[in-house]
Structure 1
Amino acid sequence: MILCIETATSHCSAALGWDEELLASRSVSAPEGGHAAALAPMVEELLSLAKAEGKQLRAIAVSAGPGSYTGLRISTSLAKGLCLGMQLPLIAVDTLTILTAGARRLRPETQATLHPMLDARRMEVYTATFDAAGARLSEDSALVLEAKQSLATEGEHLFFGDGALKVKGLWRERHYELLEELLYPEAKDMVALATKLYEAEAFVDTAYWTPNYLKEYVAVVAKNKVLQR
């Protein structure tokens, strides 16, 4: 079994499984800064379940970003602590790849070019492009969406994720689709991805690895509060 942890957005989740087998998953909507309180009980429950089922834990997988600075930092700290304490390898799974796996689970027959999008505030999103089979076509980027620069070129295009609502009606001359479900990256969609990385021994350095934040964290002081932007 691999324990998977995902906290790149306000949707916090954990899952336990191997390849296509999902033993259990848990998820909850965590308010800003609430990832720590939401995540620990879920992970503890899944670890207890694995022990009760006699399942051997082989690795810990964590969502690698991009996404919420606070969320990624919390899940990374927890995953590293578990790896060190249990002497397990750490696996990092790209968040947009996880989100794309979720879209393909919901739309297995799609032939569209896939555009996962995470909200990065205002009209900015974290995004990348994948083909219908889930193969990556572009690297992760922080992109400001503009009406004059359409991502929907020729062919079918499917946009999804909590940032995808920003493209609704943005490119009126283009044909594209928004996934009806408000989709978040989910730990249960990490399991098969993490298994492939485990089998390839694609582990990251537990001590020195850090998530892919894409943008530098900036704290600004306003009205005696520290805000993230």
Structure 2
Amino acid sequence: MSFILSIETSTPICSVAIHKEGELMANTDLFLEKSHSNSLTPLIEELLQHCDLNMSDLSAVAVSSGPGSYTGLRIGLSTAKGLCYALDIPLLSISSLDSMTSQVINFDASENICYIPMIDARRMEVFYKVSGHNLKGIEKMSNLIIEEDSFNNLIESYNKVYLFGNGSLKAYELLKNVSDKFTWIKGIDPTAKFYGEMAYEKFKQEQFEDLAYFEPNYGKEFYSPKSKKKSFLDLNR
């Protein structure tokens, strides 16, 4: 019997779920403008208690491999690694973009369609990935500044192009004037609830991450602007 704890913190939604052999037992999603650090551990403890499980009952921990918020991903991964190390259980990674696509994969039964999950990267930039009707990747995850001709190759090849995620509305507002093949799906965000089947499949195939070296794909390099305030050293030069 396998119990997998899933953690998703790539966006302002702090999401935790527990699956039993791929089937959802319980999940909690909290929308947080501030850091996930104060809420994540209590959510995990409450969820385990709700499922009448102990930490020692967990078989693995699944965590977002990105892309998304640098701080959010670091908090989720640090918590997941700590649990895996303490419990001596494997670490699994799940793409935030794939977890979004899995929510809408049965939205359209047609085959000549594609799905583009988008996570906001500020202004007109998004993290995205293009998948087919069977979740098969068409274009790998990347970051992109949306322009009117960004997906011309897709509208030439597919009957429908579905956009979703917290970066998709700004893209749709621009692209809907280019072609009526673009369709926006509202209310789709990365959530641990939809990690179940993907995480369980990786668990069975022993596709584990290295606890020491695994890092999420942030989508682009982290940039921390230099403070304009003068430091103590500057004032004393």
TM-score (norm 1): 0.89
1:10 equivalent in alignment to 2:12 = yes
Q: Of the two, which has the highest radius of gyration?
A: 2
Within 5 Å, give how 1:130-169 maps onto structure 2.
Answer: 130-151=131-152, 152-154=154-156, 155-169=159-173
Structure 2 distance, partners of 1:58, 1:85, is: 12
Within 5 Å, give how 1:170-189 maps onto structure 2.
Answer: 170-171=174-175, 172-175=177-180, 176-179=182-185, 181-189=186-194
Give 1:108 deviation, angstroms.
Answer: 6.1
Q: Structure 2 vs 1, CA of residues 54 and 65 (structure 1 numbering), >3 Å: closer, same or farther?
A: closer
Structure 1 distance, partners of 2:56, 2:70, is: 32
Structure 2 distance, partners of 1:54, 1:173, is: 51
Give 1:123 deviation, angstroms.
Answer: 0.5
Q: Deviations over 1:85-130 (max 9, x none)?
A: 111100011111111112236x264653100000001100000100
User: What SS does structure 2 have at the residue aligned with 1:82?
Assistant: helix
Q: Deviations over 1:134-184 (max 9, x none)?
A: 1111111011100133355131110000000112231313121000x2211
Structure 1 distance, partners of 2:128, 2:75, is: 22
Please say if residues 17 and 24 of structure 2, whose CA atoms lie closer than 8 Å, have aligned partners that are also in contact: yes
User: What SS does structure 1 have at the residue aligned with 2:104?
Assistant: helix
Q: Which moved more, 1:64-73 or 1:135-144?
A: 135-144
Give 1:214 deviation, angstroms.
Answer: 2.0
Aligned to 1:45: 46
Q: What amino acid maps onto 2:26 in structure 1?
A: A
User: What SS does structure 2 have at the residue aligned with 1:177?
Assistant: strand
Structure 1 distance, partners of 2:109, 2:21, is: 21
Q: Which moved more, 1:206-215 or 1:69-78?
A: 206-215
Structure 2 distance, partners of 1:59, 1:132, is: 29
Q: Which moved more, 1:146-155 or 1:55-64?
A: 146-155
Aligned residues: 222
Q: Which moved more, 1:117-126 or 1:14-23?
A: 14-23
1:64 equivalent in alignment to 2:65 = yes
Q: Identify unmatched segments of 5+ residues in structure 2.
A: 230-237
Aligned to 2:212: 207
1:220 equivalent in alignment to 2:225 = yes
Structure 2 distance, partners of 1:67, 1:110, is: 30
TM-score (norm 2): 0.87
Identity %: 35
